Amino acid sequence: MQSEYKLTLPPANPDQAEPLARERLEEALNKLGFIPNMYAVMANSPGLLDTYIHGYNRFREGSGFTAPEQEVVLLAISRENGCTYCVAAHSFLADKMSGVPLAVTSAIRDGGQIPDAKLASLHDFTRTMVTKRGLPSRAEVEAFLAAGYSERHILEIVLAIAVKTLSNYANHLFHTPVDDLFATRTWAG
């Protein structure tokens, strides 16, 4: 999904970016070996990029979700928000780094039935939190808790929604092209 209006700010590179953005771009280059297109456009607002990376890292490092569960959450949010860039990126990460079964990733991408009951519950509750703007019903929360998750996990989903909203909306506005690394998992929406 892309906004009708496309922001015309150019992608930043570390040599031209403001100090805070330069630091985050250089960290990405050192950690990942490249600067994702999303980071380059988000660097036009150093606070946006810094907040995104900080929150994303806090979710990855301290959410209490396993790597596959994290990817389900991030992919569910990105799909719900219609972010073609993030669906492609998180599909790639799910496949290559997080150990998410392809059947699960495909079901999320295609709006199909997730074959793992616990991951299906996580996906469904995450979608509920996005579509209901953080106002799940008692029954929806109880079903999520009955699947083996905790109230703390609900708050971690809120964190994931916050960081993915930052990236998803920026990508909508910039029409961010999918990086070559993620191109095999391009998603049309």
Confidence of residue 1 (pLDDT cuts 50, 70, 90): confident
Burial of 47 (0-12, 13-18, 19+ CB in 10 A): exposed
Residue 119 has pLDDT above 90, yes or no: yes
Burial of 29 (0-12, 13-18, 19+ CB in 10 A): middle
- The pLDDT assigned to 189 comes to 81
pTM of the model: 0.96
The share of the chain scoring above pLDDT 70, in percent, equals: 100
d(CA 37, CA 24): 13
CATH number for region 19-181: 1.20.1290.10
pLDDT in tens, 33-92: 999 999 999 999 999 999 999 999 999 999 999 999 999 999 999 999 999 999 999 999
Extents of the domains making up the chain: 19-181
Give the total residue count for the chain: 189
